[in-house]
Structure 1
Amino acid sequence: MKSRSKKHDCYDKEGNYKDRLSELPDEILVNILSFLPIRCAVRTVLLRRFGKLWTLLRTLKFSYSEEERFISYVMKYHKSPTIDKLEFFWIYEHPKEELMKWIILGLRKKTRVLSIQGNPVSTNIFLPPRVFRSQCLVSLALTGSLIKLPRRVFMGSLKKLDIAHVSVSDEDFKVLVSGCPCLRELIVLFPHGLQQLHFTSPSIEKLELDLLIDLGTALDRHYSLDCPNLKILHIDEVYIDNLRVIDVSSVRQAIITYCHTSEDEPDQDHFEILLDKFRNAHVFRLGPNKAYMQLEHCGNGKLAVARNEWTHLALRSRVRGSCLLGICRLLRNSEYLNELIIYANVDFFCDCNMLLSELSSPCVMRQLRIVTIRDYVKPCQALLQLIEFLLKSALVLDKMVIVCNRKDKLLSMEGHEFILQLLSFPRVSRSAKVVFA
């Protein structure tokens, strides 16, 4: 029996062409309309099958080109009882009173995501107090707004707050954050009037900051960072001299993409200072060239680190020790490395069969000049293996400094044997010196 052709399926019994789109249920058609620009979606009213389906849209995005009359029409005839996302791109020609009215209409329909993007230069938008008492909002994004809080602030469902070019005082910022008990992600870009980023909310896991508009205005802006429950911190750009880090002990990932420094204070000094602040972090990066990592355990897929352009690298073991194999692989992929810091207060180990071949195979490190081993406590065979690996790999090494927490340990029989064995290792760099401090 021959199967019917696909071409035949496109026609009904009378030979008329089937409109497959029109056969779809209303729910699917409304979902399709949500991917169109709002003006195109409204124009489907001219199509018989679509009719007024656009009034059931749960996503309303108004761009900067939309006229006030059109926005009023859409908000007036919109019939869906709920709105998933409501977005306004506002310019100074539009009356602010109308915007306030439309925001209130959206909040009455239990809007979950509200985004208001104003012109940060020429527009200051005042939000209606109802915004700060909404129990339905899960995400709020504000650009070019002047935040004036009502007496009571409580957004019980808000999980993400994104503010850019917003004027807000330190006190109002504290009240705003404390009024969002479920807040998980906070984004603050180019704030005006804000200097103290202080909050103890246990729910906030991620903080993104950009604290620099131009270097001229940034010199007079000082910020303090006190977030004892934060997990992830990303700072895009900052004048590092004016950033005071108070408590970030809970941060596990910290990245400062670009930092400006004064000419008389090299950024290496800042790296050392910030490294002490972020000592509990698993990853800390300052700019494109400086990194700090807590090492992984044996068998972990993260041991295979991709090639990087780091010039300064600090490594620390986890509480239960870390895999020596991971350090070797990381060093092989760090061809621009100039300075290496290793914290040796916790033992290194490796139960991988691959370690022997990794240590014996050649590794050429052409730019590594300084190696510092800090917090040395006691002799460790894995540490000796690592030192031997570095001495035979670093072509231009100037010095290796081993900082011992207890000098009496070096004077013991065990310490004496450690020193003799270390000094017997061959060095590929003729100028390499091993110094105990």
Structure 2
Amino acid sequence: MNSSSKKHEICDKQGNCIDRLSELPDEILIHILSLLPIKDAVRTVLLRRFGKLWTLLRTIEYDFRQDAIEYDFGRADWFIEYDFGQDGLFINKVMKYLKSPIIDKVVIREKSGPLKEELMKLITFGLKKKTKVLGIHFDDFSFEVPRVVWRNQFIVSLHLTKVCLGFTRCTRIHMGSLKKLELNCLCESNERIKTLLAGFPCLQELVIKYPKMLQALHFGAPSIEKLELDLCLNMRKPTCVNSIFYHERFSLDCPNLKLLHINEVCLETLDLIDVSSVREAKITECCMSRDNVDYFEILIEKFRNAKIFQLGDKAYLQLEKCGSEKLAFRENRWTHLALRSVIHGSCLLGICRLLRNSRRLKELIIYADVDFFCDCDLLLDELSSSSVMRRLKIVTIREYEKPCQGLLQLIKFVLKSAVVLDKLVIVCNKKDELYSTEENDFILQLSGFPRASRKANVVFA
């Protein structure tokens, strides 16, 4: 035996080679096979330890786009006359020998569509065995989803790519167990998608990527908690180099949504009608966007009720109340940050810790219509300890109404930490009160705070 083979041997104290794989129980081996494409799982019939274990699989994942490979199954008398180059025959053999009473997952990937009849059989085979996860992925639109799918009561997760949905006005759509729906590269109108969604009473997560005809998404279903959109294909390039124009606008009206993730979108084409219930929103702009409008400022009002809103490297956070779990964000990459307190005030300690972890921060916005405070013993240590914010240049205090001790402490912390700060702007809601005795005392205290940056100016607006 050569040296390379010896490296992979596992031997006992007596020098006898140990076959760890053969010692594994059938349940673990079947689980390992379930992670493989069905073609590879069937190949293990030639391994003595695996034998017929593949016939107990509860998953079928078939990629018809893989190159056909010939195998010799002469030693497997239960699988005679098999030719791996004939996908249709292979599908029939799989359905014939698979013994599992339940098939949890069926995923099909096809390049064109020469095996429509066999694919229909395979999907029906899985549905009869109470499939929970169904995926149908094509490279064109040659396949039509069987209508029986739209009346299935066992499917929990449905994933479709470049297929025809296959329902008409007369089709009754009702999938009582469906919780996740993913639609990739579909060419369907607004009304058809609206009709489709109406048939999923328990749908919780909706993913739509690269829709070709969809221009608006309107639903008020309280069950849908998460929506993920990728609308980059709503843009198209003309023949002229370095010239881009936008094809269609996309409107989003989802008053009961909780989580919203939008990837690769040009904000110039996006209309957010009602996202008032969203608690977490993350938006990534398309690299081809060229508009200089500050959409971050505009979208803050749209997501005013959100606990967190991110637009690329810009973030808006609704702060935690004092006494609750503190802001424990790890070091982040945010360059712009806006902070808003909850109704009864927010934790000053959490804000200071958050700013320490925002090492790339260039601009900070603080909404000061509600006070900041903290009843923690750690606050004095946090405020007095050294901290350096190397990139922060602009700080804006908005919706300022009256002096408060917490705001003074926060401003003092920022002034002594921001080494390149240019200005701190305080935007007062009631300018006529700026000259009151209380305000004069507030301004006098600000003027006495030490500043890490010699250029830092405090301005009331």
Q: 2:149 aligns with which of 97, 118, 131?
A: 131
Residues of 1 paired with 2:385 and 2:20: CA distance?
Answer: 68
Cα 1:46–1:243 change in 2 (3 A) is same
1:272 corresponding residue in structure 2: 297
The 3 A distance-change label for structure 1 pair 230 and 20 is closer
357, 362, 377: which is aligned to 2:401?
377
Asked if the contact 2:91–2:118 (Cα under 8 Å) also holds between the matched residues in 1, the reply is no
1:376, CA displacement in angstroms? 1.3
| Aligned residue number for residue 249 of structure 1 | 276
Cα distance between partner residues in 1 of 2:234 and 2:136 = 24
Find the counterpart in structure 1 of residue 91 from structure 2. 71
Q: Given residue 180 of structure 1, which amino acid in structure 2 is its aligned partner?
A: F
Residue by residue, what CA displacement relative to the aligned partner does 1:305-355 show, whole Å, maximum 9, x if unpaired?
A: 222222211011122211111221222222222211001111101112222
- 1:185 pairs with 205, 213, 217, which one? 205
411-420 or 330-339, larger mean C-alpha shift = 411-420
Other-structure match for 1:310: 334
What SS does the aligned partner of 1:98 have? helix
Provide the rounded CA distance (Å) in 2 between the counterparts of 1:177 and 1:118. Answer: 22
> Post-superposition shift, 1:400?
1.8
Deviation at 1:7, TM superposition (A): 8.3
Instruction: Give the Cα–Cα distance (whole angstroms) in 2 for the partners of residues 431 and 49 of structure 1.
Output: 75
What are the within-5 Å matches in structure 2 for residues 258-407 of structure 1? Answer: 258-260=285-287, 262-263=289-290, 265-266=291-292, 269-287=294-312, 289-298=313-322, 302-407=326-431
Measured in 2, the distance between the counterparts of 1:133 and 1:21 equals 43
Mapped partners of 1:142, 1:427: distance in 2: 58
Distance change (3 Å), C-alpha of 1:415 and 1:139: same
SS at 1:367's partner residue? coil
Equivalent residues of 1:256, 1:286 under 8 A apart: yes
Q: Which residue of 1 aligns with 2:449?
A: 425
Structure 1 residues 78 and 406, CA gap change in structure 2 (3 angstroms):
same
Any gaps of 5 or more consecutive residues in structure 2?
A: 1-11, 69-86, 238-244
Of 78-87 and 92-101, the range deviating more from structure 2: 92-101
Contact 2:232 2:286 in 1 (8 A): no
Greater CA drift, 307-316 or 154-163: 307-316
Classify 1:335/1:55 alpha carbon distance in 2 versus 1 (closer, same or farther; 3 Å).
closer
User: Matched residue of 1:379: which SS?
Assistant: coil
In the TM superposition, what is the alpha-carbon distance from 1:78 to its structure 2 partner?
A: 2.9
Letter in 2 for 1:74: V
Contact 2:210 2:234 in 1 (8 A): no
Deviation, 1:292, is 1.1
Over aligned residue pairs, what C-alpha RMSD do you find?
2.9
Number of the residue aligned with 1:3? none
Partner of 1:167: 187
CA deviations on 1:14-62 (whole Å, 9 max, x unpaired) are xxx999959956x666445434442343345567886655333211111
Question: Identity of counterpart residues, as a percentage?
Answer: 58
Aligned position for 1:415: 439
Per-residue Cα deviation, 1:267-315 (whole angstroms, up to 9, x for no partner): 5x1000111111111111111x211112234565652322222221101
Structure 1 residue 159: Cα displacement: 0.5
Task: Report what 1:39 is aligned to.
Answer: 39
Counterpart residue number, 1:209: 229
Match in the other structure for 1:13: none
Of the structure 1 ranges 96-105 and 36-45, higher mean CA displacement relative to structure 2 is found in 36-45
Q: Does 1:232 align with 2:256?
A: no
How big is the shift at 1:261? 6.6
Aligned position for 2:56? 56
Does structure 2 retain, via aligned residues, the 8 Å contact 1:149–1:172? no
Q: Distance in 2 between matches of 1:23 and 1:374?
A: 64
- Corresponding residue for residue 144 of structure 1: 162
SS at match of 1:392: helix
Q: Does the Cα contact within 8 Å between 2:235 and 2:248 map onto a contact in 1?
A: no
1:107 paired to 2:132: no
Distance 1:56 1:206 in 2: 35
Q: In 2, are the aligned partners of 1:68 and 1:94 still within 8 Å (CA)?
A: no
3-state SS, counterpart of residue 181 of structure 2 = strand
Given that residues 147 and 167 in structure 1 are in contact (C-alpha distance below 8 angstroms), is that contact kept between their aligned partners in structure 2? no
Instruction: State the alpha-carbon separation in 2 of the partners of residues 281 and 409 from structure 1.
Output: 31
**Shift in CA distance, 362/42, structure 1 to aligned 2, threshold 3 Å:** closer
Name structure 1 gaps, 5 residues minimum: 1-5, 11-16
Q: Aligned equivalents of 1:387 and 1:43: distance in 2? A: 68
The residue aligned with 2:8 is: none
Task: Count matched residues.
Answer: 421
- Once structures 1 and 2 are overlaid, which stretch shifts more, 59-68 or 204-213? 59-68
Which residue identity is paired with 2:425? V
SS of the residue corresponding to residue 232 of structure 2 reads: coil
Partner of 2:138: 118
1:20 to 1:374, Cα distance in 2 relative to 1, 3 A? closer
TM-score (structure 1 length as normaliser): 0.87
Q: Is the 8 A contact 1:240 1:261 kept in 2?
A: no
